[in-house]
């Protein structure tokens, strides 16, 4: 009796960032009928390649065939095949005690890899490998789209893929409509307006994808290069951004009085308030004595901060 021949799915995954960090894209590629891409207004090459692997795993979660993933990043392969067990034992800390980079993506990947028959293979990037080049081309196209504010082709995805709970990163000019968002008032969200549009003003727990994205963006605010670069900072803020400073002033994006002054922080919660609207509650400061709230809105340019507030709290 002839045994069943197991077919292996081979896919290339790649990420692209135009200035690393900067407008970024990701893509995975199996063939011209099975591929996907996406991106962000601000990200890194490593984030892109990790996201490509995560989306590939989620897109193929319904199949039993082994999956061989081609990556040109040793960082990604080593993270997922060598370093992750130690990180988990240490509470997602590296050997030197520092936090693991891209930890929210790593946690999602840890879940997505469970029970899967996976093999990771390194391929040299930009060396003529057909599948790697195809993934790289699509990841770079997505990054360029976010840089230029134009639409891009997200790809057909994987055949018969199960629906995934995922946030949609709209590109400017996309044919997809902007989510129906409830309005904002100077002191936050108008609950009555939310109810009038059928949304809820009661916070709900954010999906893992939304949480990972907003935690990433919150940490970007703490990056010295971002805080000192008006253009980089502006790319994270909604055109109608306002904030309540520590002294009670209502200020706009032209002033930095609301900005964090210390990179020490603790994320308390990420809540959703309706489709495309979410808030991050976090402590910040050398003694974690400043309680912060950031309200983010999903727009054609990705998630942008619409409102921020900081309050001094007791160190005890």
Picking from 134, 176, 184, the residue whose alpha carbon sits closest to that of residue 152 is 176
**pLDDT, mean over the chain:** 79
**Residue 93 pairs with which residues in a beta bridge?**
99
* 181 half-sphere exposure, CB direction, 13 A CA radius: 19
Residue 193 is a catalytic residue: no
Active-site residue identified among 136, 169, 220, 271: 136
Quickly list DSSP for 211-270. HHHHHHHHHHHT-HHHHT-HHHHHTTEEEEEEEE-TTS-EEETT--TTS-S-S-EEEEEE
Whether 65 has a pLDDT exceeding 70, the answer reads yes
pLDDT for 134-191, tens place per residue?
999 999 999 998 888 788 888 999 987 554 433 333 222 222 222 222 222 322 333 2
Q: Alpha-carbon Rg of the chain, whole angstroms?
A: 21
Residue 187 is a catalytic residue: no
pLDDT of 233 reads 80
Residue 49 is a catalytic residue: yes
Q: Could you give the C-alpha distances from 23 to 30, 124, 270, in angstroms and in order?
A: 24, 23, 24
Active-site residue identified among 14, 55, 108, 271: 14
Cis previous bond, 21, omega within 30 = yes
pLDDT for 226-263, tens place per residue?
777 777 788 888 888 888 777 767 777 665 667 777 77
Active-site residue identified among 32, 91, 126, 247: 126
Q: Is 191 helix (H, G, I), strand (E, B) or coil?
A: helix
More confident residue, 287 or 10: 10
**Total-model pTM:** 0.55
Residue 120: in which H helix or E strand, if any? strand 118-122
Residue 137 is a catalytic residue: no
pLDDT of 97 reads 87
How far apart CA 90 and CA 266 sit, in angstroms, is 18
Active-site residue identified among 39, 43, 49, 55: 49
Strand 204-205 to 237-244 pairing: unpaired
Task: Give the Cβ contact number of residue 204 at 10 Å.
Answer: 11
Residue 244 is a catalytic residue: no
Q: Map tokens 């009038």 to a residue.
A: 196
Active-site residue identified among 42, 43, 72, 238: 72
Residue 14 is a catalytic residue: yes
Task: Give the Cβ contact number of residue 93 at 10 Å.
Answer: 15
């Amino acid at each position: 009796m002839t045994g069943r021949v197991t077919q292996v799915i081979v896919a290339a995954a790649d990420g692209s960032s135009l200035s690393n960090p900067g407008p970024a894209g990701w893509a995975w590629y199996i063939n011209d009928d099975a591929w996907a891409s996406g991106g962000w207004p601000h990200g890194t090459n490593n984030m892109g390649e990790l996201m490509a692997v995560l989306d590939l795993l989620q897109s193929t979660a319904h199949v039993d065939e082994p999956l061989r993933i081609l990556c040109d990043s040793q960082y990604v392969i080593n993270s997922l095949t060598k370093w992750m067990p130690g990180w988990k034992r240490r509470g997602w800390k590296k050997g030197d005690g520092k936090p693991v980079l891209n930890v929210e993506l790593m946690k999602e990947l840890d879940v997505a890899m469970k029970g899967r028959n996976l093999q990771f293979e390194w391929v040299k990037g930009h060396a003529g490998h057909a599948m790697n080049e195809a993934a790289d081309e699509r990841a770079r196209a997505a990054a360029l789209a976010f840089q230029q504010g134009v639409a891009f082709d997200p790809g057909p995805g994987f055949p018969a893929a199960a629906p995934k709970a995922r946030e949609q990163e709209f590109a400017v000019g996309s044919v997809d409509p902007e989510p129906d968002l409830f309005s904002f008032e100077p002191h936050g969200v108008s609950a009555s307006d939310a109810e009038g549009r059928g949304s809820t003003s009661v916070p709900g727990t954010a999906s893992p994808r939304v949480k990972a994205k907003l935690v990433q963006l919150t940490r970007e605010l703490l990056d010295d290069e971002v805080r000192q670069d008006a253009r980089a900072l502006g790319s994270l803020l909604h055109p109608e951004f306002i904030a309540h400073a520590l002294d009670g002033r209502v200020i706009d994006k032209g002033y930095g009085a609301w900005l964090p002054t210390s990179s020490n922080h603790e994320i308390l919660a990420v809540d959703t308030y309706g489709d495309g609207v979410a808030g991050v509650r976090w402590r910040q400061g050398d003694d974690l004595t400043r309680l912060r709230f950031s309200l983010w809105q999903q727009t054609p340019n990705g998630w942008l901060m619409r409102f921020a507030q900081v309050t001094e709290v007791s160190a005890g």
